[in-house]
C-alpha cells in the first residue's frame, strides 16, 4: 500500500514540475490580455499535449526497458537531470518574450513547446513501469490547471514570478533524476 501511495505522490510531483513550465509561460501570455474563451482553449490544448507526449514517451520507455534493462534506468535518470538543469538555466535567461501569437497554429506550437519535456519524463516512467493511465491523466490535468492559473495570474502579477516557477519545476525534475541514478 505504501509503494502505491509513494507512486501517486511521485507522479503528482512530476506532473506539477512539468506543469510549471506551462504555468510560467502562461504568466507571460496572460499579460497579453486574451479573452477568457482563449484562456480555456489554450489550457485545454496544453493539457491534451501533456497527455499525448508522455504517453508516447511511456510506450518508448517500456520498449527500451525490455531491451536494455538497467542501462535504460540510468538513461532515464540522466534525461530527468538534463531536463531539470535545462529548465533551471532557461529560467534565468532573458528571453521571456512570447514570439508566437496565441491563436490558431500558434496555440498548437505553444502547447507542443511546453509539452516536449513531458515526452522525456514519459520515457523515464515507461522504463520504470509506472501506471500509464494515472501518469498521463495527472500530467494532463495538472498542466491544464497550471496553464489556466498562469494565464489568470499573469493578468494581475508582474512577469518575474515566471522565472522562479520554471526554476522550481526544473529543481524537482533534477532531484528525481538524481534519485533514480543514486537511490537514497
pLDDT tens for residues 162-178?
556 667 666 766 877 78
Q: Residues 65-85: pLDDT tens digits? A: 777 766 766 776 777 788 778
**Contact between residue 172 and residue 13 where contact means Cβ atoms under 8 Å apart:** yes
Q: Report d(CA 163, CA 167) in Å as an integer.
A: 6
**What average pLDDT is seen over the chain?**
77
Q: How many CA atoms lie within 13 A of 129 on its CB side?
A: 5
Whole-model pTM over 0.75 = no
Structure confidence by residue, pLDDT tens digits, 101-145: 566 777 777 777 777 778 878 887 887 777 788 888 999 999 999
Q: Look-up: residue for cell 496555440?
A: 107
Distance, first Cα to last Cα, the chain: 20
3-state secondary structure of 179: helix
Cβ–Cβ < 8 Å for 71, 180:
no
**What is the C-alpha separation between 179 and 182, in angstroms, rounded?**
5
Distance CA 3, CA 12 (A): 14
- Percentage of the chain beyond pLDDT 90 is 10
Highest mean pLDDT among 33-47, 89-103, 110-124: 33-47
CA angle 65, 16, 181 (to 5 degrees): 35
Residue 1 predicted with pLDDT over 60: no
Q: Examine the pLDDT at 48 and tell me if it is beyond 90.
A: yes
Q: Give the per-residue pLDDT at 69.
A: 65
User: Cα–chain-centroid distance for residue 171?
Assistant: 12
Q: How many helices (H) and strands (E) does the chain have?
A: 6, 0
User: Tell me, what DSSP letter sits at residue 102?
Assistant: S
| pLDDT of 47 strictly over 70 | yes
Amino acid at each position: 500500500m505504501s509503494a502505491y501511495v509513494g507512486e501517486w505522490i511521485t507522479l503528482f510531483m512530476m506532473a506539477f514540475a512539468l506543469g510549471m513550465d506551462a504555468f510560467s509561460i502562461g504568466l507571460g501570455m496572460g499579460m497579453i490580455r486574451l479573452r477568457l474563451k482563449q484562456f480555456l482553449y489554450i489550457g485545454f490544448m496544453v493539457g491534451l499535449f501533456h497527455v499525448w507526449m508522455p504517453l508516447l514517451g511511456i510506450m518508448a520507455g517500456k520498449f527500451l526497458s525490455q531491451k536494455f534493462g538497467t542501462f535504460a534506468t540510468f538513461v532515464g535518470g540522466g534525461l530527468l537531470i538534463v531536463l531539470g538543469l535545462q529548465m533551471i538555466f532557461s529560467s534565468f535567461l532573458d528571453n521571456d518574450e512570447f514570439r508566437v501569437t496565441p491563436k490558431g497554429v500558434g496555440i498548437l506550437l505553444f502547447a507542443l513547446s511546453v509539452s516536449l519535456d513531458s515526452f522525456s519524463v514519459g520515457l523515464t516512467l515507461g522504463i520504470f513501469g509506472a501506471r500509464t493511465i494515472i501518469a498521463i491523466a495527472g500530467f494532463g490535468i495538472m498542466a491544464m490547471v497550471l496553464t489556466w492559473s498562469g494565464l489568470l495570474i499573469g493578468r494581475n502579477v508582474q512577469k518575474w514570478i515566471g522565472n522562479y516557477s520554471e526554476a522550481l519545476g526544473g529543481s524537482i525534475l533534477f532531484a528525481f533524476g538524481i534519485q533514480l541514478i543514486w537511490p537514497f
